Amino acid sequence: MPWTHRTVLLCVWFIYITSSLVAGLQETDEDGHRCAELNSTTWTQYRQRTKLQVQYLLLTRQNPDCAQRFNQESLAKRKSFFNESRPTKVVIHGYRAVGSKPSWVTKLAEALLRAQDVNVVVVDWVYGASFAYNLVVENYKEVALQISVLINQLQTHGCELESFHFIGVSLGAHVAGFVGTLFEGRIGRITALDPAGPMFKGADTYDRLDPSDAMFVDAIHTDSDYFGISIPVGHVDFFLNGGKDQTGCTRSRFASILVYFPVYGYVICDHMRALHVYMSALNGSCPLVGIPCPTYDDFLEGQCMSCDVFQGTCPVIGLSKNSGITVSPIPREKRLFLLTTSSPPFCAHHILLMLEVFPLDKSAELEVTLRTEDQETKQTLRLHTGTTVYRKVMIHHVALCKINTISLKNTGAFYRQGEIHVKSVCVSEFPSARHEEPICVNHFYVRRRTAWSHDFVNVCGF
């Protein structure tokens, strides 16, 4: 049954009420000084609709585990670790529930500080973010106004607008966007992690994040069919696994734990995947590369394999300047697609599977398996009587040059084609800097319920 807008909002409320998240910021530092903490609300405060309050917490490499409360006074009196010569990352959370705090803040700050020597300023607007969703949306521009006051103060102390990088999660992405609007797009960068969709998809660009809000805007979409937005909002928009259902996020996985709220695991897992992928990308263990393509279906069918629109340099998720894009001016609202795994570091090698068969009398089904010594990836192809050439994108945990075996199995039922005459099967990795030739095998038969396999002597070059 399709969800109505009202149902979505109610589910948001109940989902967050059931999640009692504990803030990751520690209470004291090594010297016994009390560390600043994120705010929390009570049910009484919720009923009274506590007025909007915004505080700022500062984390640097000098105090990575003990946040300082950061304001105009501490800045003026030089009582903080803030350094005007460093870039500044401004982290903005989104919708919260009564009593809940964004527990991911510390992990994100740690990842940012490991990657770069920066100031991390956490915007804490939990008091204003803890009502019903539609009421919280009424607050987001006021939050942006208050943040803009801080940015103006920092400018007077020598900070350049280009040095600010805003990272907004869900509704926080639109808060960052409005800050950018107030500064006429002169903010250095805004990164949106699954920017909120409800009440924003049809909004004017003045009222939501868009490419004009910063010199560079990138977004990661992982839940565009529920709580995330489905339209591009940046210069480059990464739609992971199509931007909707993420691998490893299923209702059944959580059903035994959350009997009364089985949708919890499905919705929150998808929505928060953008944050987890981004934090993993900051560790730099492997590149998460996006391929520009008009639609996800076109991408899966292997119709888009190059990054010519970016002069051959494919954008990557992370902190690299302008996502590694070298072309100028940067194209706007480009949809980028990539497939990920279900756990960190989330990246995998994209493999294009190309299959050509002789004409079929009946429809058929082929299961293609790529194997290494200890891993395998399966992909099912449905073959039709009117088509002889098929292209499909799949992922594998290791590079194509490490694949040892390719297997094809005719898994069709008795009324399907009994014997499939394969003209050729080829696999190639993309995008590939080495421009390696596809690996191909020609002319063989695959009979029903039997598998055909071919071993490779494959060695990765240098």
* Helix (H) or strand (E) segment spanning residue 297: helix 296-300
Q: What is the CA radius of gyration of the chain?
A: 25
- Residue 84: CA count within 13 A, CB half-sphere: 14
- Residue 328: CA count within 13 A, CB half-sphere: 4
Amino acid at 178: F
* Helix (H) or strand (E) segment spanning residue 124: strand 119-124
435 carries an active-site annotation: no
Which of 226, 170, 208, 195 lies closest to 7 in space, CA to CA?
226
Catalytic, out of 40, 100, 174, 194: 194
194 carries an active-site annotation: yes
Contact between 317 and 323 (Cβ < 8 Å): yes
Q: How far apart are CA 250 and CA 126, in angstroms?
A: 29
Tokens 């055909």 locate to 452
Beta-sheet strand order (sheet of 376-383): 376-383, 364-371, 405-410, 451-455
Catalytic, out of 271, 276, 349, 396: 271
Structure tokens at 153: 């103060």
Amino acid at 441: V
Beta-sheet strand order (sheet of 419-430): 389-396, 349-357, 419-430, 439-447
Q: Would you give the DSSP letter of residue 265?
A: H
Q: How far apart are CA 205 and CA 210, in angstroms?
A: 6
Beta strands in 345-450 (DSSP E): 349-357, 364-371, 376-383, 389-396, 405-410, 419-430, 439-447
Contacting residues for 381 by C-beta, under 8 A, at least 6 apart? 353, 355, 365, 366, 367, 368, 390, 392
Q: How far apart are CA 108 and CA 120, in angstroms?
A: 10
207 carries an active-site annotation: no
Which of 331, 241, 245, 336 lies closest to 289 in space, CA to CA?
336
CA separation, residue 220 to residues 14, 110, 171 (Å): 25, 20, 13
Catalytic, out of 130, 170, 280, 428: 170
User: Would you please indicate which residues are annotated as catalytic (active-site) residues?
Assistant: 170, 194, 271
